[in-house]
Amino acid sequence: MRPVLVIDLTTAARALLAAPSQQRMQLSTKMLQVADFGDRYRRRFKQSHARFENGALAATAQKYALAVEPTVDDWDYCACLELVLL
């Protein structure tokens, strides 16, 4: 996966926040795997994959519904950020 930027973390957390709480761990794992695959493809073939993008976590997360970004005093949002960082 490409180097993770703050926008990657917040976008992925917003996708998790929009998902039902019981599906968040699975979605987090899936987004990270898809971003990793996209990056491997990009490095090998020197172009983005049509379905898996360019390996940026934000690009992968944007394919899902995104919650409006709350402030960091929102515990549910912080839990989603933590899932992304695991």
Q: Where are the domains of the chain?
A: 6-85
Instruction: Read off the pTM.
Output: 0.90
Picking from 59, 57, 60, 81, the residue whose alpha carbon sits closest to that of residue 69 is 81
Can you give the pLDDT of all 86 residues of the chain as single tens digits?
678 899 999 999 999 999 999 999 999 999 999 999 999 999 899 888 877 788 899 999 999 999 999 999 999 999 999 999 98
User: What is the model's pLDDT at position 3?
Assistant: 83
